[in-house]
């Protein structure tokens, strides 16, 4: 039912196809043979295009394209409707080869037919076919695994690999991968000839490898390693071990031969038993010439006795110890000599290592020092601590003494040969080697030394000693003498990288130690673990002394080659490199008062390490600079003071005159006029300011009319209490030009001021007339516009002795003195005569200044400033309130303007 | 007899193993076949709980005797070859019958050993044929018509199977000895 339906569908499809073709739905003009070819690269390929009648063209209209038009010389016209083309196939050849015809009209499709070229290479022959069958359980696995080397060309076409086997009974095959494959033969054909080959095929051909023919399939077997490998020792054979094992596969399959290898535990140098000794199919073997009391590792493997096939893997490790034997070599005896400070003796520490051929565990040592008794040193340690350094004995040896040390090592089987060592007198030590050097190579530290020229023949061996500087760990090894030539040896101990060691070579003269030659050394170097810690020990204005400590030896990790000092101010960094033995340095040419950051870098050949930063500030002034400046200033000031004092002393009289000018005798004074222009020439501005508003009152001693009425009316102004600037005046103290002084005129206090002053002698009176409190200077005379000054001229100072009679006279002759100016303050206790005397100072007009407030009436005070403000009651007033009539010669505080 | 045969095999195995020449490989193959047959017989005894002392009744299935003193060595090998072909036929019949009896049960050690003996016997036949330089076919020489009319799984059938396995063991042992004699005859030494 199903099959018939399927056939019906197929018939319907074919009928439709025929109908389409006949109805012209698919117009075909020709075809190409062969269709969809797979072409071989490097060879020629020929295709033929055949035109149908529907093409309405001839062979001459045909042209081929293959990524472009194919040249016509490659065409071959077969007949009027067929043309072939032959092209060489390369990897770059086009994918589509198309047959075309010349179009008859525009837009006509020129293509007739096209074919796709599938390019590729024929299969390549596999090489180096090899196969293996492994053991499975107690039999040989029937699965044969093979591998081979395929071709090296790219497989552009689908390629099939097939592995074939043919034994005496049957032939099998199995598809494989490109380079490996397997065949399950169900039963491995032991003792049968077996042929194996690989066949490689693709659409361009087929090729097979060389046939691998083995006369016996067992030659392809890799068995398991031998089983149950055990080692047995026998006490009477300390240098022998018996190895036993069990074969991995039954004897029925094939005979085996074996390989045995062994080594001491910890060693990787395997020793192999000669193959001839184990060719026979045995299951045990006795290893000989081993070291006593040594743990050995043994491994065994096997393969077909014929030698064809594959070795099995090595068996698992089997380990065992050989029995003990008595030591067959001397113990390694050595000493450390430490000189005692301040004493002529040495402290000797005797130590040893087990004999190289201890042949057992050393139980004790028997030591004898010089002529002393023999002492036994028991050794208690575990099995793994052999060849450790054992401190045996310590004694003190005088510098002029010599000691012979003898040592025997004992184990459970006997005593070793005796070792001896002689420590010579301190002053009689044999010479050292001539020179010593070292280098590292392939992770080892090699030491090279040159023997002493004269004593080289006496040297029996050398002791190469190394001491860790960090922890003081010491070890040594013995080196044979190499004639009189230089000797070279590497240190066989476990040196640590980046640790400093002191390496010494001792020449041994028949057991007597010579002087050592010691050099520091590193197995490997790198940058120091820490950097130098720098600090500033002294800091100046432009320099700073840096100090740092040497890096501890166990942290140097290499030889310090140099130190580099980096110091930074702001963003500017500078560096200085100093030698490795420098631990202080003075930075110079620094900027004063600046902040510096400094650090020191220690360098080895393998790297650098910075120390911590240290910050310091340079001084603003150098030490002593401030003190110097202060001293200079003080000296200058002192000099100035001294100069002033000297000057004052020398010019005392002149100064005195300046300060206390001679007072003219009023009795000799006359009234004189002077030109007001005189001072104005000196200071016109002050004249305008000061004198422009000055009202000059005509002073007429003899004429009471000289004071105009307005001025008299203005006198009551003095009654007002107001603060005024007191001006001393050389002219009877009435000048407004005196130094400003706050005061309250006492003369205003009493209503009798007018009466009092009426009896005083008034030399002159100067009244500032610029408006003051409504006072308008009135032209009381024609001279108001041009102020004139009247003064009394006197060249004789008023003396008390003279004044008093005058006062008395004044009281009797009132006509002689008229109260002219009430502005004058009456000094305490002073009579009018006193006032006259006080005002007898000619006054200095250069102090005559006017204040903006206008006229200020000032008093003339002979006292100092401080005392000028004292009230009369304090000093000059009598207890009854009367003024003290103390005559005074009143100096003027300031000089007066030259008149 | 089986113990004696086993002893003889072990004695032979302790000898240097041949392997280089055709006769030597044939001897080794016969020994291996004998080992496989013994193993198969042991598996069958275990499977059927048969004692090793038990000997089935009846004559030998393969009655050829190569040890006749009147025969030459080549003839003895020829007889051996024929006997082995018959053994192979018997084994094929045995496998066929047991497979029908098992009806798709999983293959165990016995079945695997059975297959190994069959293949190994084929290898020995081929090796012997090469030694004889004969054109005689190595196909099994048995029609499986004998002893097959019993009830499947019956004791009689098991005894027949047991007898066939004994026969295989016997002829394998016989082959190893005969071929070894041939090897010594041809190569002049036991060690090849």
Give residue B3's pLDDT: 39
Alpha-carbon distance of A741 to A718, in angstroms, equals 17
Q: Which residues of A touch B13 (CB under 8 A)?
A: 251-252
Residue among A307, A273, A302 nearest A288 (CA) = A273
CA atoms within 13 A on the CB side of A302: 29
SS3 per-residue string spanning A234-251: ECCEEEEEEEEEECCCCC
Residue among A562, A496, A552 nearest A529 (CA) = A552
Q: Is B96 in contact with B144 (CB distance < 8 Å)?
A: yes
Q: Is A252 within 8 Å of B122 when comparing Cβ atoms?
A: no
Tell me the nearest-neighbour CA distance from A160 into chain B, angstroms: 30
3-state secondary structure of A113: strand
Give residue A68's pLDDT: 87
Alpha-carbon distance of B127 to B52, in angstroms, equals 31
Q: Would you call B19 an interface residue with chain A, using a CB distance cutoff of 8 Å?
A: yes
End-to-end CA distance of chain B: 29
pLDDT tens, position by position, B7-52 = 343 444 344 444 478 888 899 999 999 999 999 999 999 988 887 7
- Residue listed under structure tokens 């007002």: A720
In a domain, B27, yes or no: yes
Q: Which residues of A touch B25 (CB under 8 A)?
A: 191-192, 215-216
- Cα dihedral A274, A278, A283, A287, rounded to 10, equals -20
Can you give the CATH number for the domain in which B164 is found?
A: 1.20.1250.10
Chain B stretch 28-67, residues whose beta carbon is closer than 8 A to a beta carbon of chain A: 28-29, 31-32, 35
Q: Is B19 within 8 Å of A252 when comparing Cβ atoms?
A: no
Give the bridge partners for A300, in sequence order. A260
Query: Regarding beta strands A127-136 and A221-222, do their DSSP bridges make them parallel or antiparallel, or are they unpaired?
Result: parallel
Q: Nearest-5° angle of CA B111, CA B112, CA B113?
A: 90
Buried/exposed A664-689: b ≥16 CB within 10 Å, e otherwise: bbbbebeeeeeebeebbeeeeebbee
Q: Is A187 within 8 Å of B13 when comparing Cβ atoms?
A: no
Q: Is A191 within 8 Å of B20 when comparing Cβ atoms?
A: no
Q: Quick one: which H or E segment has residue A114?
A: strand A111-116
3-state secondary structure of A46: strand
In a domain, B111, yes or no: yes
Neighbours of A80 (CB within 10 A): 11
Distances (CA, A) of A771 to A522, A738, B145: 109, 20, 177
Query: What is the sign of the dihedral through the CA atoms of A795, A797, A799 and A803?
Result: positive
Q: Which residues of B touch A192 (CB under 8 A)?
A: 25, 29, 123, 126-127
- Residue listed under structure tokens 């096209």: A114
In a domain, B10, yes or no: no
pLDDT tens, position by position, B94-125 = 888 888 877 766 778 899 999 999 999 999 99
pLDDT tens, position by position, A117-168 = 888 999 999 999 999 999 998 889 999 999 999 988 888 888 999 999 998 7
pLDDT tens, position by position, A171-192 = 999 999 989 999 999 899 998 8
Give residue A30's pLDDT: 85
Chain B stretch 88-127, residues whose beta carbon is closer than 8 A to a beta carbon of chain A: 115-116, 119-120, 122-123, 126-127
Tell me the nearest-neighbour CA distance from A280 into chain B, angstroms: 9
Q: Which residues of A touch B42 (CB under 8 A)?
A: none
Chain B stretch 123-162, residues whose beta carbon is closer than 8 A to a beta carbon of chain A: 123, 126-127, 130, 138
Alpha-carbon distance of A515 to A518, in angstroms, equals 10
Neighbours of A446 (CB within 10 A): 15
Find the length of chain A.
Answer: 899
Tell me the nearest-neighbour CA distance from B190 into chain A, angstroms: 15
In a domain, B130, yes or no: yes
Q: Which residues of A touch B26 (CB under 8 A)?
A: 191
3-state secondary structure of A607: strand
Give residue A609's pLDDT: 94
Stronger pLDDT, B69 or B91, i.e. the higher one: B91
Q: Would you call A303 an interface residue with chain B, using a CB distance cutoff of 8 Å?
A: no
Low-confidence ranges of chain A (pLDDT < 70): 1-27, 106-109, 382-387, 484, 669-899
In a domain, B103, yes or no: yes
Residues 6+ positions from A720 with CB-CB distance below 8 Å: A748, A773
Give the bridge partners for A96, in sequence order. A116
Specify the DSSP class assigned to residue A884: P
Q: Is B119 within 8 Å of A251 when comparing Cβ atoms?
A: no
Neighbours of A822 (CB within 10 A): 27
Stronger pLDDT, B76 or B105, i.e. the higher one: B76
Number of domains into which chain B is organized: 1
Q: Which residues of A touch B183 (CB under 8 A)?
A: none
Q: Is B31 within 8 Å of A252 when comparing Cβ atoms?
A: yes
Q: Is A358 in contact with A375 (CB distance < 8 Å)?
A: no
Residue among A854, A843, A858, A850 nearest A898 (CA) = A843
Q: Which residues of A touch B43 (CB under 8 A)?
A: none
Find the length of chain B.
Answer: 192
Specify the DSSP class assigned to residue A544: E
Alpha-carbon distance of A57 to A425, in angstroms, equals 126
Q: Which domain holds residue B147?
A: 22-50+70-187
Alpha-carbon distance of A506 to A733, in angstroms, equals 118
Residues 6+ positions from A134 with CB-CB distance below 8 Å: A140, A141, A145, A221, A222, A223
Closest chain B residue to the Cα of A304, Cα to Cα: B19
Q: Is A168 within 8 Å of B126 when comparing Cβ atoms?
A: yes
Q: Would you call A143 an interface residue with chain B, using a CB distance cutoff of 8 Å?
A: no
3-state helix, strand, coil in chain B (%, to 5): 65, 0, 35
Residues 6+ positions from A855 with CB-CB distance below 8 Å: A695, A736, A767, A768, A769, A770, A772, A775
Q: Would you call B6 an interface residue with chain A, using a CB distance cutoff of 8 Å?
A: no
In a domain, B148, yes or no: yes
Neighbours of A584 (CB within 10 A): 12
Q: Nearest-5° angle of CA A596, CA A597, CA A598?
A: 115
Q: Among A186, A253, A305, whose Cβ lies nearest the Cβ of B32?
A: A253
Give me the total of CB pairs closer than 8 Å, taking one residue from chain A and one from chain B: 65
CA B52 to mean position of chain CA atoms: 18
Alpha-carbon distance of A603 to A528, in angstroms, equals 7
Q: Is A254 within 8 Å of B29 when comparing Cβ atoms?
A: no
Give residue B145's pLDDT: 66
In a domain, B60, yes or no: no
Residue among A353, A322, A543, A594 nearest A463 (CA) = A353
Tell me the nearest-neighbour CA distance from B151 into chain A, angstroms: 31
Alpha-carbon distance of B7 to A111, in angstroms, equals 88
Interface test with A, best of B10, B11, B13, B19 (most A CBs within 10 A): B19
Q: Would you call B20 an interface residue with chain A, using a CB distance cutoff of 8 Å?
A: yes
Interface test with A, best of B10, B20, B27, B28 (most A CBs within 10 A): B28
Q: Is A600 in contact with A520 (CB distance < 8 Å)?
A: no
Asked if residue A34 has a cis previous peptide bond (ω within 30° of 0), the answer is yes
Alpha-carbon distance of A84 to A90, in angstroms, equals 19
In a domain, B117, yes or no: yes
Specify the DSSP class assigned to residue B67: T
Neighbours of A478 (CB within 10 A): 14
Query: Regarding beta strands A295-304 and A318-321, do their DSSP bridges make them parallel or antiparallel, or are they unpaired?
Result: antiparallel
């Amino acid at each position: 039912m199903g099959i018939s339906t399927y056939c019906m569908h197929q018939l319907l499809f074919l009928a439709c196809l025929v109908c389409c073709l006949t109805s012209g739905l698919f117009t075909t003009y020709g075809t190409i043979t062969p269709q969809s070819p797979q072409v071989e690269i490097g060879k020629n390929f020929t295709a033929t295009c055949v035109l149908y009648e529907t093409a309405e063209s001839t062979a001459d209209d045909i042209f081929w394209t293959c990524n472009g038009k194919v040249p016509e010389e490659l065409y071959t016209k077969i007949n009027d409707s067929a043309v072939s083309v032959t092209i060489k196939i390369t990897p770059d050849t086009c994918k589509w080869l198309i047959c075309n015809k010349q179009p008859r009209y525009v837009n006509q499709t020129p293509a007739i037919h096209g074919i796709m070229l599938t390019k590729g290479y024929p299969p390549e022959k596999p090489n180096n076919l090899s196969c293996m069958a492994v053991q499975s359980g107690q039999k040989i696995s029937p699965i044969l695994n093979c591998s081979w080397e395929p071709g090296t060309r790219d497989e552009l076409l689908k390629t099939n690999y097939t592995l074939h086997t043919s034994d005496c009974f049957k032939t099998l095959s199995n598809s494989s991968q490109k380079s490996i494959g397997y065949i399950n033969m169900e039963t491995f054909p032991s003792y049968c000839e077996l042929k194996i080959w690989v066949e490689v095929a693709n659409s361009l051909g087929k090729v097979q490898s060389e046939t691998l023919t083995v006369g016996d399939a067992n030659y392809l077997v890799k068995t398991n390693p031998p089983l149950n490998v055990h080692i047995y020792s026998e006490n009477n054979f300390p240098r022998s071990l018996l190895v036993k094992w069990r074969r991995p596969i039954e004897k029925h399959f094939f005979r085996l031969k074996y390989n045995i290898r062994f080594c001491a535990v910890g060693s990787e140098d395997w020793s192999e038993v000669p193959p001839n000794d184990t060719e026979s199919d045995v299951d045990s073997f006795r290893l000989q010439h081993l070291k006593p009391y040594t743990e050995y590792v043994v491994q065994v493997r096997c393969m077909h006795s014929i030698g064809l096939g594959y070795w099995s893997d090595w068996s698992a490790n089997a380990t065992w110890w050989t029995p003990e034997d008595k030591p067959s070599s001397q113990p390694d005896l050595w000493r450390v000599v430490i000189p005692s400070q301040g004493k002529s003796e040495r402290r000797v520490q005797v130590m040893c290592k087990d004999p190289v051929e201890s042949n057992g565990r050393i139980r004790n040592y028997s030591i004898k020092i010089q002529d002393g008794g023999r002492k036994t040193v028991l050794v208690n340690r575990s099995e793994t601590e052999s060849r450790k350094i054992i401190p045996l004995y310590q004694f003190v040896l005088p510098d002029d003494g010599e000691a012979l040390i003898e040592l025997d090592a004992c184990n459970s089987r006997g005593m070793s040969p005796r070792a001896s060592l002689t420590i010579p007198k301190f002053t009689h030590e044999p010479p050292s080697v001539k020179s010593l050097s070292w280098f590292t190579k392939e992770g080892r530290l090699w030491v090279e030394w040159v023997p002493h020229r004269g004593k080289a023949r006496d040297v029996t061996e050398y002791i190469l000693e190394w001491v860790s500087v960090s922890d003081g760990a010491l070890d040594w090894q013995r080196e044979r003498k190499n004639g009189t030539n230089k000797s070279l040896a590497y240190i066989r101990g476990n040196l640590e990288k980046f640790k400093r060691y002191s390496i010494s070579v001792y020449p041994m003269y028949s057991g007597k130690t010579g002087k050592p030659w010691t050099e520091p050394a590193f197995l490997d170097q790198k940058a120091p673990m820490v950097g130098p810690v720098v600090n500033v020990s002294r800091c100046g204005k432009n320099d700073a002394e840096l100090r740092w400590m040497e890096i501890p030896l166990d942290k140097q990790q290499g030889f310090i080659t140099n130190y580099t000092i980096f110091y930074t101010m702001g963003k500017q960094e500078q560096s200085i490199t100093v030698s490795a033995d420098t631990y202080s340095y003075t930075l110079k040419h620094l900027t004063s008062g600046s902040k510096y950051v400094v650090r020191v870098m220690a360098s080895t050949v393998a790297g650098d390490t910075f120390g911590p930063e240290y910050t310091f500030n340079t001084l603003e002034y150098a030490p002593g600079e401030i003190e110097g400046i202060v001293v200079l200033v003080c000296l200058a000031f002192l000099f100035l003071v001294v100069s002033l004092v000297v000057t004052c002393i020398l010019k005392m009289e002149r100064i005195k005159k300046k300060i206390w000018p001679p007072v003219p005798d009023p009795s000799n004074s006359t009234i004189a006029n002077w030109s007001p222009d005189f001072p104005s020439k000196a200071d016109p501005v002050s004249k305008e300011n000061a004198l422009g508003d000055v009202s000059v009152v005509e002073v007429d001693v003899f004429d009471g009319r000289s004071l105009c009425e307005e001025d008299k009316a203005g006198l009551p102004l003095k009654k007002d209490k107001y603060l005024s600037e007191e001006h001393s005046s050389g002219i009877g103290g009435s000048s407004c030009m005196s130094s400003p002084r706050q005061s309250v005129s006492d003369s205003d206090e009493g209503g009798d001021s007018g009466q009092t002053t009426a009896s005083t002698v008034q030399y002159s009176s100067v009244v500032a007339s610029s408006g003051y409190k409504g006072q308008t200077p009135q032209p009381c005379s024609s001279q108001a516009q041009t102020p004139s000054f009247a003064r009394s001229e006197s060249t004789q100072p008023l003396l008390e002795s003279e004044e008093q009679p005058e006062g008395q006279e004044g009281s009797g002759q009132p006509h002689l003195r008229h109260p002219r100016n009430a502005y004058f303050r009456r000094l305490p206790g002073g009579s009018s005569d006193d006032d006259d005397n006080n005002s007898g100072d000619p006054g200095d007009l250069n102090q005559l200044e006017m204040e903006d407030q206008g006229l200020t009436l000032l008093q003339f005070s002979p006292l100092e400033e401080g005392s000028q403000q004292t009230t009369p009651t304090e000093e000059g007033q009598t207890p009854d309130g009367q003024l003290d009539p103390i005559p005074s010669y009143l100096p003027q505080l300031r000089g007066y303007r030259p008149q | 007899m089986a113990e004696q045969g086993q002893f003889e095999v072990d004695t032979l195995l302790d000898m240097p193993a041949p392997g280089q020449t055709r006769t030597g490989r044939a001897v080794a193959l016969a020994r291996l076949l004998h080992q496989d047959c013994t193993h198969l017989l042991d598996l069958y005894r275990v499977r059927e709980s048969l004692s090793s002392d038990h000997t089935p009744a009846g004559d030998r299935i393969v009655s050829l005797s190569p040890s006749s003193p009147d025969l030459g060595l080549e003839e003895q090998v020829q007889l051996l070859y024929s006997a082995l072909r018959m053994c192979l036929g018997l084994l094929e019949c045995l496998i066929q019958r047991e497979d029908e009896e098992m009806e798709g049960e999983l293959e165990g050690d016995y079945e695997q050993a059975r297959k190994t003996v069959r293949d190994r016997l084929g290898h020995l036949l081929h090796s012997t044929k090469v030694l004889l330089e004969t054109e005689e076919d190595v196909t099994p020489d048995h029609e499986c018509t004998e002893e097959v009319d019993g009830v499947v799984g019956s004791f009689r059938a098991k005894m027949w199977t047991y007898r066939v396995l004994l026969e295989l063991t016997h002829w394998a042992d016989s082959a190893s000895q005969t071929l070894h004699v041939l090897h010594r005859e041809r190569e002049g030494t036991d060690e090849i």
